[in-house]
Amino acid sequence: MRRARQGTLREIEGFLSIEPVQVAELELGDEGAAGGAEGAEGAELRPGPGSAPVTCGMVFLLVRQAGVPIGTLLGRVPEGADPTEVLAGLARELPRGAPAEPSPRPPSASVVVATRERAGRLARALDSLLAQDHPDFEIVVVDNAPVTEETRELVERKYGERVRYVCEPVPGLAIAHNRGLAAVRGEVVAFTDDDVVADPRWLTELTAPFAADPRLGCATGLILPARLRTPAQVLLESHGGFAKGFTPRTYDPAHPPADEPLFPFTAGRFGSGANMAFRTSALRAVGGFDPATGAGTRARGGDDLYGFVRVLAGGHRLRYTPRALVWHHHRETWRDLETQAYGYGAGLTAYLTAILVNRPALLPALLARVPGGLAHARRLTAVRATDAPATDVRATGVRPADARPAGDGTAPAGVPGGHDSRTHPWPRRLSRLQRRGMLYGPVGYLRARRALRTAGWEAE
């Protein structure tokens, strides 16, 4: 026990030494897109949401071509150098894809934002949502178990008729999302969090695939860090954050992907709840989200994963599209990371328990995947070392998108946005907490169901 405490203290000491990283985005000019020697000409460098203009030092950079995200890199701007010139030069090393085809006209959409006592963050998110270029959408704010009138007053005072306010007195993220689902009018319902800033084309890019594919039931998008100011934010993002790469992909239950042996039960590979959309009729047909899952319940999480699997199990496709971008404000402290690690572990096994309780017919498929699932769990909670010393990263300046790690090659390090450079080791303390959460998840889910029944609710 004493040795474990000493190890944790050493990990925290190393954690506190992590330095902040600037966040920015670079729009390539025509010469830069062609990869010529004058790649900085025509390039436009902008700070990330809420960030200051780029100066010397480490920079986490999103690179765009014709407005479309094509990759991220981590680079150092030397003192006295021109940041645009340095970063545009590094951006030339990113692979170029074929020019993206124009998106079809998106269907009508509703955006649901569940929130609780975070009016300041909510205002920032709503400002970005109201700036969307989607031709036909509404915004619904669900105030979950409020203890003050702050959120209602914000919506009514600042946003008037542009945003609808709904109150859900029962705590729980899935319950709040179901309340929003019942209230929306759009053909597609999108969900995001109150701690994001949405790119102006986010909603259009997230919902347009539904117009192109009548079998599509769900879509997810790219999540990048809005700020990397604290050690917690930098550590999380250096191990992938929430992003899933820059390659669009469609998951079809009729044709399970060969490289996903746990499909569809590794739902975390599909995306995250801060950037997801469903065909409204498809999500309603499966009963929405399980109210005994999600933040605010004893299950601690798993509501988004449950929604993905239920829609896939209903025969619908799921589309990941990196053109649909939101900037997420990561948690800021070591304590936040501890809470997050435990909650992720608990949410993973809680959602699997929810799937089996609500869809017992899926049990044989899950049991067939148990051996692979155990190996996946070991990889998920492993103590992840650094890929290379930090000095190497600063020397090369760039981590190409979709790079793969050394080893068996089963999990691409580039999947989380191409910036999974692992320049800082993942603490053992966080891995242990995630494993403990995984053991607790089924118990937490059953307790959450019992609490709902006691309150007069049914879990589904």
C-beta of residue 260 within 8 angstroms of C-beta of residue 269? yes
Neighbours of 344 (CB within 10 A): 21
Using one digit for the tens of pLDDT, what is the confidence trace for 79-116? 999 999 999 999 988 887 667 777 899 999 999 999 99
At 385, is the pLDDT very low, low, confident or very high (cuts 50, 70, 90)? low
**Model confidence band, residue 458 (pLDDT cutoffs 50, 70, 90):** low
pLDDT bracket for residue 376 (50, 70, 90): low
What pLDDT, in 10s, does the model give residues 114-165? 999 999 999 999 999 999 999 999 999 999 999 999 999 999 999 999 999 9
For the segment 184-192, the average pLDDT, to the nearest whole number, is 98
Q: What three-state secondary structure class fits 62?
A: strand
What is the structure's pLDDT at 395?
27
pLDDT score recorded for residue 242: 86
Span 228-259, pLDDT tens digits: 999 999 999 988 788 889 999 999 999 998 88
Mean pLDDT of the residues in the chain: 85
What is the pLDDT averaged over residues 7-31?
A: 85
Terminal CA-CA length for the chain: 42
d(C-alpha 207, C-alpha 324), whole Å: 9
pLDDT value of position 413: 33
Residue among 378, 172, 195, 161 at smallest CA distance from 275 = 195
DSSP H stretches of helix in 271-409: 280-285, 303-313, 334-358, 363-368, 370-380, 390-396
Structure-block tokens of residue 44: 């436009």
pLDDT in tens, 255-300: 998 888 788 887 778 999 999 999 999 999 999 999 999 999 999 9
Query: What proportion of the chain, given as a percentage, has pLDDT over 70?
Result: 84
What does the alpha-carbon distance between residue 353 and residue 293 come to, in Å, rounded to a whole number? 10
Is pLDDT at 418 greater than 70 in this prediction? no
Give 200: exposed, middle or buried? Use CB within 10 Å, 0-12, 13-18, 19+: middle
